[in-house]
Structure 1
Amino acid sequence: MGTGYSIKIVGLPAGIDSKALEHSIIKLLVNINSVMSTYQQDSELSRFNRNHSTQWVAVSSALATVVTEAQKISQLSQGAFDVTVGSLVNLWGFGPVHLTSEIPSLHQIEQAKEQVNFNLLKIRSLPPALKKERGDLYVDLSAIAKGYGVDQVATLLESQGINNYLVDIGGEERLKGYGPKGTAWRVAIEQPLAGERKVAHILDLTVGAVATSGDYRNYFDQNGKRYSHIINPSTGWPITHNLASVTVFSATAMEADGLATAILVLGPEQGFQLAEREQIAALLLIKTPAGFREEVTTHFMSNFLLGKSAE
């Protein structure tokens, strides 16, 4: 996944060997990568991307699960979130296929955009299968699979009777119960600043998942302008609005991961409208000449700022 992970457990149940548990977690994450990574040429997703057939292709239930959630968020956001954006991600140098720090030509962008349309990716649940309506679709699950990985680790922990934990993969988190001091887990939300780490908020949570999407960690600069890895599927260009980061709280990290990206792509006005309409608990940090302005949804206010736990 190109990032680090941290798992904190309080009160390991009797009979659970920590080394064996660590081995199980590593095996689980390696397996998820082997299914959903675009950086591994032999992953299930990479093989699907290379397959230009427009017939049904049998896939694992895990891959079908993540694509199903992704398509739901695509419908919700009217395509702002789109896992078929991979051709554009690669073109702009943020994927494994075409690494560059150069701005693509308008012709290249328009060509890549023709390969981007979530409606051209079909899902069958039983037996699990995917189908491309256009053979050169390139699926990139980077904006949602990490959250899925967090959820799977959490499920593994709970299957072992562990109910006080915090799972973090690259900043996407899921937690339950209480921390080492017997109090709620403390989750920090970063200021969206490039090159430094500064906390904007700390929230006390006892259950749920949190994910942040931002334009400030993965980018390149050219001619005094910053180009983020967050690509707008409808324009083919990195986002240019002043919404710097979106933090979403949800029951699952997979949903929070995808929704945060969708809201970020939509921008401060449309993104906030989507979050309010769908009762999403979201915190938006917006760049202004005077610093960052915060916008919080009604659901965020009622569930977090008033002291309630994520549910």
Structure 2
Amino acid sequence: MTTSCWMTLVDNRSMGRTLKTRSALLASFWFGLCLFLSACTGEPEAKVTRLSGMTMGTTYNITLVTEGEVEDLANLKASVNNALAVVNQQMSTYIDNSEINRLKAQPVGEWTKVSRPLAEVLDVSLWVSEMSDGAFDVTLRPLVDLWGFGPGQEEDKVPTDDEILKAQSRVGYQHLELDKAGLRVKRDKPIDLDLSAVAKGYGVDVLAELLEHEGINHYLVEIGGEMRLKGHNPRGIPWRIAVERPDETLVQSVYQPLSVTNMGVATSGDYRNYFEKDGVRYSHTIDPRTGRPIRHNLVSVTVLSPSCAKADAMATAFSVLGAEDALTLANREGIAALFIIKESGQLKEVSSEAFKPYLTEPVAKTTSVQ
């Protein structure tokens, strides 16, 4: 997620919701800081190669650490761009003839063939939906559109109770059946899909697998703030990355450094993505169970998982659940998660047991919100 892109408003039109501001984790900031934290005092002995570009309404950044020059770098970048274009064509709500947009035109009650990538993303999504008791739901699109976060939505609007109930009647992951082995899906009602909370993470996984297929085993891949890291940084030690300090003023600073390798990383938060109407703040994160934006004190959650797609989806689910329920679920399922909570003008950290080995500083920190 490069020309000072984090200082501008991003119109995320090729994938997912229209974001009023940058994502909860400013990717350009995080990416640059990752490199700063992993840099050595002198020139690294390893060869460092960087690739970047646009995708899914945001940016991607890749850092490769190799012993020598990367062979045919131009061809590698072309392969990266082609792979991302395929994912976008399959999963974007903003492309009229994308696979998920074509899917909604298929007859209800009948099996429809889907691509393997879409089947894999739906499999992850349904798993997270079940695990979170519906806090995550890729059939949320009618509510996303209703609240003004969908394609072509510009007006900040607060829907009526009747409008919310009507939209909710067309939401529910239980109405989507997946035959993963047969690469087909069936809907028992006219539900519609929004994969914005998982597709960028899946795109990261696609690029990671592409790099490994090319024999590259030390890398950092990032799309729109979601990451996957493998091997070591130029210093020959595990990658160090930084969780951003939640700040509505767009002032960027490190909140928590992490030591991570062979892992996907995703962060979700609502402290930048919201609109205000009549003095009330409405988050872009909508609870599928209520049909309304979340209203709790969890401002940011970072999740680690070998699959960035899973980390991406789980971060959204935890954001919906709130810190207390999400922490209970993370500890029950052995999920590595860091929660940043706002209490009485102070930021407080809480982490699951599985997250603690990744911290470079202990979680007991409380700081004032400026």
Which TM-score applies when normalising by structure 2?
0.80
Q: Displacement, 1:124?
A: 1.0
CA distance in 1, matches of 2:185, 2:243: 36
Matched, 1:251 2:300: no
Matched, 1:129 2:176: no
Q: Is the 8 A contact 1:90 1:99 kept in 2?
A: no
Deviates more, 1:94-103 or 1:34-43: 94-103
Q: Displacement, 1:144?
A: 0.6
Alignment deviations for residues 7-49 of structure 1 (CA, whole Å, 9 cap, x no partner): 0011166662111100100000000000000111110011112
1:156 — aligned with what?
Answer: 210
CA distance in 1, matches of 2:334, 2:349: 17
Q: Displacement, 1:252?
A: 1.1
Q: Judging changes above 3 Å, is the alpha-carbon distance between structure 1 residues 2 and 195 closer, same or farther for their aligned structure 2 residues?
A: farther
Q: Judging changes above 3 Å, is the alpha-carbon distance between structure 1 residues 12 and 223 closer, same or farther for their aligned structure 2 residues?
A: farther
Q: Displacement, 1:130?
A: 1.1
Counterpart residue identity of residue 257, structure 2: I
Q: Displacement, 1:126?
A: 3.2
Matched, 1:116 2:171: yes
- What SS is found at the alignment partner of 2:302? strand
Q: Is the 8 A contact 1:13 1:162 kept in 2?
A: no
1:264 — aligned with what?
Answer: 319
- What SS is found at the alignment partner of 1:10? strand
Q: Displacement, 1:204?
A: 2.0
CA distance in 2, matches of 1:6, 1:216: 24
Alignment deviations for residues 252-304 of structure 1 (CA, whole Å, 9 cap, x no partner): 10110011111110011111111111111100001112321111111111454
1:167 — aligned with what?
Answer: 221
Counterpart residue identity of residue 171, structure 1: G
Q: Displacement, 1:209?
A: 1.0
Counterpart residue identity of residue 37, structure 1: S
Which structure 2 residues correspond to residues 20-169 of structure 1 after superposition, within 5 A?
Answer: 20-96=75-151, 98-135=153-190, 137-169=191-223
CA distance in 2, matches of 1:245, 1:239: 12
CA distance in 2, matches of 1:52, 1:115: 15
Counterpart residue identity of residue 202, structure 2: Y
CA distance in 1, matches of 2:358, 2:128: 22
Match of 2:277 among 214, 222, 232: 222
Q: Displacement, 1:109?
A: 0.5
1:178 — aligned with what?
Answer: 232
Q: Is the 8 A contact 2:259 2:358 kept in 1?
A: no
Q: Is the 8 A contact 1:186 1:205 kept in 2?
A: yes
- What SS is found at the alignment partner of 2:206? helix
Match of 2:345 among 290, 299, 307: 290
CA distance in 1, matches of 2:277, 2:106: 35
Q: Is the 8 A contact 1:12 1:162 kept in 2?
A: no
- What SS is found at the alignment partner of 2:186? strand
CA distance in 2, matches of 1:117, 1:306: 40
CA distance in 1, matches of 2:155, 2:115: 32
CA distance in 2, matches of 1:112, 1:97: 18
Counterpart residue identity of residue 50, structure 1: A
Which TM-score applies when normalising by structure 1?
0.94
Q: Is the 8 A contact 1:144 1:258 kept in 2?
A: yes
Deviates more, 1:295-304 or 1:267-276: 295-304
Alignment deviations for residues 80-139 of structure 1 (CA, whole Å, 9 cap, x no partner): 00111111011101111544201011111010011111100010123211111102x011
CA distance in 2, matches of 1:12, 1:25: 21
CA distance in 1, matches of 2:337, 2:140: 24
Q: Displacement, 1:192?
A: 2.1
Counterpart residue identity of residue 94, structure 2: Y
CA distance in 2, matches of 1:12, 1:33: 32
CA distance in 2, matches of 1:297, 1:80: 19
Q: Is the 8 A contact 1:16 1:160 kept in 2?
A: no
CA distance in 1, matches of 2:208, 2:201: 11
Q: Judging changes above 3 Å, is the alpha-carbon distance between structure 1 residues 53 and 99 closer, same or farther for their aligned structure 2 residues?
A: farther
Counterpart residue identity of residue 118, structure 2: L
Q: Which runs of 5+ in 2 are unaligned?
A: 1-55, 363-370
Q: Displacement, 1:216?
A: 2.1
Match of 2:332 among 265, 274, 277: 277
Q: Displacement, 1:159?
A: 0.6
1:189 — aligned with what?
Answer: 243
